[in-house]
Structure 1
Amino acid sequence: MPRDLYATVAQVLPVLLLALVFESRHLERLRSRPRRLRRDDPANGVRFWTKGRVRVYLLSVAVVVLGDLGLCVLMLAGGVPDSLPLRVVAVAGVLLVLVTLLFRITVDVLDATRD
């Protein structure tokens, strides 16, 4: 059963990573829009997600996901023994990407349907 978990995670993570990084021209929109803080631009500023913070967060998520993927492949190849902490790490990596995608989808839908 644990091998199925790692095989599934190893298959799902690359797809989620592609969705996170390359879906719906997200990076192009970030490049084209100014992302100043609300205190500097009260009308159009963002509360928290400036370009620098988005950059750090997305790169951090990508590193975590790729590390998680590497651990799953190592476990499947017999390089790392199965353990409860390794399972937690594998599932946490998937949850991190899913929560990030859910947040981005929510923001995109709210932005697209705003009056």
Structure 2
Amino acid sequence: MPRDFYATVAQVLPVLLLAMLWESRFLEGLADRPRVSRRLDPVGGVRFWTRPRVRVYSLSVATIVMLDVGLCLLVLGGLVPDSVALRALVAAGLLLVLGTLLTRIWIDVIRATADRPRE
């Protein structure tokens, strides 16, 4: 049963990473939108997610996903023994990317369906 868990996670995580970074045009949106802090631009600035923070978070999530996939492959290859702690670590990485993707979906849907002022 644990082998199925690792095999499934190893297949699902790259797809989630693809959805998170490339398929959603996330990187293009980051390049196009200014992300000035609220301190510098009180009206149009962002409170927390400035470009450096988005960069660090996105690269951290991508790195964690790749490490998770690597761990799954090492377990499937018999190089790392299965344990409850390892399964919890892999599940935590999966929950991180799922939570990140869900948050981004919410933000994108809210932004896309927001009422825009009429010109």
Q: After TM superposition, is the score higher than 0.5? A: yes
In the alignment, structure 1 segments of 5+ residues that lack a partner are none
Q: Distance in 2 between matches of 1:23 and 1:112?
A: 16
Map of 2:49 onto structure 1: 49
Map of 1:74 onto structure 2: 74
- What is the deviation of 1:81? 0.4
2:5 matches 1:5: yes
Stretches (4+) displaced over 6 A: none
- With the length of structure 2 as denominator, give the TM-score of the two structures: 0.93
Matched residue SS, 1:37: coil
What one-letter code is carried by the residue in structure 1 that aligns with 2:104?
Answer: R
- What is the deviation of 1:93? 1.0
Map of 1:86 onto structure 2: 86
| 1:12-38 deviation per Cα after TM superposition (whole angstroms, max 9, x unaligned) | 011001011102211111101110011
| 1:85-108 deviation per Cα after TM superposition (whole angstroms, max 9, x unaligned) | 110011111100000001111111
What one-letter code is carried by the residue in structure 2 that aligns with 1:42?
Answer: P
Q: Distance in 2 between matches of 1:63 and 1:15?
A: 14
Q: Distance in 2 between matches of 1:23 and 1:40?
A: 32
Map of 2:38 onto structure 1: 38
Q: Distance in 1 between matches of 2:18 and 2:107?
A: 18
2:100 matches 1:100: yes
- What is the deviation of 1:39? 2.0
- With the length of structure 1 as denominator, give the TM-score of the two structures: 0.96
Q: Distance in 1 between matches of 2:23 and 2:41?
A: 28
Map of 1:113 onto structure 2: 113
Map of 1:62 onto structure 2: 62
**Identical aligned pairs, as a percentage?**
66
Matched residue SS, 1:78: coil
Matched residue SS, 1:61: helix
What is the CA RMSD across the aligned residues, in angstroms? 0.8
Report how many residues are paired.
115
